[in-house]
Amino acid sequence: MKQFVTRAFAPAFGLVFGAMALVAAAGAAAESPPASPKPATTPASAAHGAAGKSATADSDQDKALYALGVLLSRNLSTFTLSDAEFERVKAGIVDGFHNKPSAAGAETSLPQIQALQRSRVLATSAHEKEVGQAYLDKAASAPGATKTASGLLYIQVKAGSGPSPVRTDRVNVNYEGRLIDGTVFDSSAQHGQAVTLTVGSIIPCWTEALQLMKTGGKSRVVCPAALAYGDRGAPPKIKPGATLEFDIELVSIEPPAPPAASGGAPGAPAPGAMPMPAAPMPPKGP
């Protein structure tokens, strides 16, 4: 259970500690001696400057503290708390922060916390799957829609030409990922350019859909949860059991990466390789 808590909070604290490192680096740079003497300042101007710096520091600190709260809150998303339940969580945070006797021994409730999270995730997943199935059934009536044996709904928007990629190919794609309510949770536009990825190293619906496409082609695909992020989801944006929809453009099939030069570092990324986007990545293990 301790491992579960550590993993649940790792993303938030990873961002927090990363930000602290950046602040520390910025502070060190600020303390470097100036290249040339500063012009003399009057007491009034010095006081005004100090007040301005203090206000900026307070503002930055407030933003950092607020961000800490936001990041911690994201670890509660899988519990699907009601307003009344969230008030109980806040009371626990306050009592724990002040080391009140009522907060002692909270660790003994870790099994109950895990059971609560599991039950809430399964309930959310069941609901999302039910809503998603209704959406899939409706989308299946769209002109040109094809439902594959796996359950993927594939709609060709524009035919491409040339060969189709295989699982081992690296491809260059533009895409937009949406929840079934239309909310965009990721897109290549957010990354500023088309994204390169390996066909066999992404969520199953993408692996299947890309192999049905040809270069220059565009498609719309609707992915049931079993072909996307399953019962775990990808909180906070993608709920457990969520059905997802993607617009995909296959820009190109990349040539095989050249062999590593003699003496090069083993495992070095291939030239032109880019980080895989958040949405199409396969879900990590628990």
Nearest-angstrom CA–CA distance, 108 and 147: 49
What was the pLDDT predicted at 239? Answer: 94
What was the pLDDT predicted at 236? Answer: 86
Assign 215 to helix, strand or coil.
strand
What was the pLDDT predicted at 50? Answer: 62
What was the pLDDT predicted at 284? Answer: 39
Strands (E), 182-255: 184-187, 195-198, 218-223, 244-253
What was the pLDDT predicted at 29? Answer: 39
- Does pTM surpass 0.95? no
Nearest-angstrom CA–CA distance, 93 and 99: 10
* Residue keyed to tokens 């293990």: 285
Instruction: Output the CA–CA distances (angstroms, integers) from residue 65 to 13, 16, 21, 70, 98, in the order listed.
Output: 13, 10, 15, 9, 18
3-state SS string over 82-135? CHHHHHHHHHHHHHHHCCCHHHCCHHHHHHHHHHHHHHHHHHHHHHHHHHHHHH
The structure tokens listed for 234 are 């990808």
Assign 233 to helix, strand or coil.
coil
Answer yes or no: are the C-beta atoms of 158 and 214 closer than 8 Å. Answer: no
Mean pLDDT per block of 10 residues along the chain (286 residues) reads 28 37 38 45 58 75 88 82 88 89 89 90 93 95 94 95 93 97 95 94 96 96 96 92 97 81 42 37 40
What was the pLDDT predicted at 270? Answer: 34
Q: Which numeric CATH code is attached to 144-253?
A: 3.10.50.40
What was the pLDDT predicted at 40? Answer: 54
Residue spans per domain, the chain? 2-29+47-104, 144-253
What was the pLDDT predicted at 72? Answer: 85
